[in-house]
């Protein structure tokens, strides 16, 4: 049997005696019915609760069951079973479709009705056509000048030909008149100056010439461009530059970030306390270096200075060793504690100071 998806439908049910399987069972009410169903390939049954409105008895063991609106929710096969006490269980298959054959027939009938209306509208017009519409020349022969200006104004519809005569006639243009109108050459051949053909030829020639110039210029320009290998080289350079420019700020010309960094790094140095410390260091240096600024030291004083000893070593010897150490970057041992300052021969310009320790070694 056929059913429609999600739609109730009445299905016939026959109840026979459970013992002999042929005696009709009558008087079975909806409350005696246990109805179950399942969708094809399902692994369990579903129960349908039958109401008084869903169960009708016709007589002689024949009943009707209404089912489907909430049960047949998918397209496919359903099996339905109807069990009643004292009766053999009645089973039937339902092929559920989105559209039933009845729906299709109804739709076809509606479509045919529409087509019928269209055909009825066309028929009155086709009834006026000849038996063979293609043979208009033979089936619809017209008398000469049968259509006149009173019916059809040929003078405006066909300016080159008119069926009118007399004052309303419009002469047909001859071939020469047509050529003259279009300013063509008097005879076939080269177009006359100023004619349509002459202008078309000029345009064609100019177009070809322009295309030739452009093509030549493009060839010359393109051929002088870099080869593929050169472009690959440029591409590699651009890639290398990009790696560096990716690290630049969005506006490299804006030095405010650099200035802010410098200010942050140097601002602690510019405080009054820091400047006071620097000033004290400079004063201390000045006090010490001021002792080096004496004048009037002659060679005798210098000689006496060089002859002085520190822990038994002459200053002159330390000076010589120090000079050698400074030039050759050697190390020397100094036997005693103290600072020894060495001067230029003028006795006023200090060269350097050697700090002497008892155990230390000084690198010059």
Residue 207: per-residue pLDDT: 82
Q: What is the DSSP string of 136-195?
A: HHHHT---TT-S-TTT--HHHH-TT-----GGG--PPPPHHHHHHHTT--SSSSSPPTTS
Cα gap 86→25, rounded to integer Å: 8
Residue 177, in any domain of the structure:
no
Cα gap 192→62, rounded to integer Å: 102
Q: Are residues 22 and 82 in the same domain?
A: yes
Q: Are residues 17 and 47 in the same domain?
A: yes
Residue 360: per-residue pLDDT: 39
- Report how many domains make up the chain: 3
Q: Are residues 264 and 352 in the same domain?
A: no
Q: Are residues 20 and 60 in the same domain?
A: yes
Q: Are residues 94 and 15 in the same domain?
A: yes
Residue 115, in any domain of the structure:
no
Q: Are residues 89 and 10 in the same domain?
A: yes
Residue 17, in any domain of the structure:
yes
Residue 77: per-residue pLDDT: 97
Residue 112, in any domain of the structure:
no
Q: Are residues 318 and 265 in the same domain?
A: no
Strand partners, 84: 33
Q: Are residues 254 and 295 in the same domain?
A: no
Residue 9, in any domain of the structure:
yes
Instruction: Give the residue from 235, 270, 305 where a domain finishes.
Output: 270
Residue 168, in any domain of the structure:
no
Residue 356, in any domain of the structure:
yes
Q: Are residues 305 and 359 in the same domain?
A: yes
Domain that holds residue 14: 2-98
Instruction: Give the residue from 98, 119, 134 where a domain finishes.
Output: 98
Q: Kindly list the distances between the CA atom of residue 133 and the CA atoms of 124, 138, 231, 342, in Å, as whole numbers in the listed order.
A: 15, 10, 72, 137
Residue 240: per-residue pLDDT: 86
Report the DSSP pairing between strands 9-14 and 2-4: unpaired
Residue 15: per-residue pLDDT: 97
Q: Are residues 264 and 316 in the same domain?
A: no
Report the DSSP pairing between strands 90-97 and 2-4: parallel
Cα gap 291→348, rounded to integer Å: 10
Residue 218, in any domain of the structure:
no
Instruction: Give the residue from 64, 98, 132 where a domain finishes.
Output: 98
Q: Are residues 24 and 55 in the same domain?
A: yes
- Predicted structure pTM score: 0.34
Residue 217: helix, strand or coil by DSSP?
Answer: helix
pLDDT tens digits, the chain, 364 residues: what are they? 999 999 999 999 999 999 999 999 999 999 999 999 999 999 999 999 999 999 999 999 999 999 999 999 999 999 999 999 999 999 999 999 998 887 777 767 777 787 888 888 888 877 777 666 655 555 555 566 655 555 555 555 555 454 555 555 555 666 666 666 666 666 666 666 777 777 777 787 778 777 777 777 766 666 666 566 777 787 888 888 888 888 877 776 667 777 777 777 776 665 667 677 767 777 777 666 554 444 444 455 555 555 666 555 566 666 665 655 454 443 444 445 556 665 555 556 665 566 655 443 343 3
Q: Are residues 303 and 263 in the same domain?
A: no
Residue 285: per-residue pLDDT: 72
């Amino acid at each position: 049997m056929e059913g429609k998806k999600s739609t109730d439908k009445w299905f016939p049910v026959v109840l026979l005696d459970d013992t002999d399987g042929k005696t009709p069972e009558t008087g079975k009410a909806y409350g005696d019915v246990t109805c179950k169903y399942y969708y094809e390939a399902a692994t369990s049954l579903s129960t349908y609760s039958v109401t008084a409105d869903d169960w009708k008895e016709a007589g002689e063991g024949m009943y009707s069951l209404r089912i489907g609106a909430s049960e047949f929710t998918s397209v496919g096969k359903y099996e339905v079973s109807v069990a009643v006490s004292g009766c053999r269980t009645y089973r039937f298959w339902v092929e559920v479709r989105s559209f039933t054959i009845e729906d299709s027939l109804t739709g076809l009938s509606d479509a045919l009705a529409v087509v019928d209306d269209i055909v009825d509208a066309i028929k009155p017009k086709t009834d006026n056509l000849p038996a063979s519409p293609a043979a208009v020349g033979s089936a619809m022969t017209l008398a000469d000048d049968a259509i006149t200006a009173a019916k059809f104004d040929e003078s405006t519809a066909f300016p080159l030909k008119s069926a009118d005569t007399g004052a309303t006639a419009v002469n047909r243009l001859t071939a020469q008149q047509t050529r003259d109108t279009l300013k063509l050459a008097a005879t076939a051949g080269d177009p006359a100056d100023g004619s349509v053909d002459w202008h078309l030829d000029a345009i064609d020639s100019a177009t070809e010439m322009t295309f030739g110039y452009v093509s030549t210029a493009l060839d010359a320009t393109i051929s002088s461009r870099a080869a593929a290998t050169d472009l690959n080289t440029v591409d590699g350079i651009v890639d290398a530059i990009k790696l560096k420019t990716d690290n630049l700020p969005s506006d490299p010309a804006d030095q405010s970030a650099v200035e802010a960094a410098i200010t942050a790094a140097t601002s602690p140095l510019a405080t009054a306390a820091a400047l006071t410390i620097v000033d004290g260091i400079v004063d201390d240096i000045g006090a010490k270096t001021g002792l080096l600024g004496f004048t009037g030291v002659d060679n005798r004083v210098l000689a006496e200075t060089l002859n002085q000893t520190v822990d038994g070593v002459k200053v002159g010897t330390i000076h010589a060793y120090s000079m050698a150490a400074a030039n050759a970057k050697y190390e020397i041992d100094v036997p005693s504690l103290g600072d020894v300052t060495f001067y230029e021969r003028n006795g006023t310009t200090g060269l350097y100071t050697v700090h002497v320790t008892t155990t230390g070694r000084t690198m010059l």
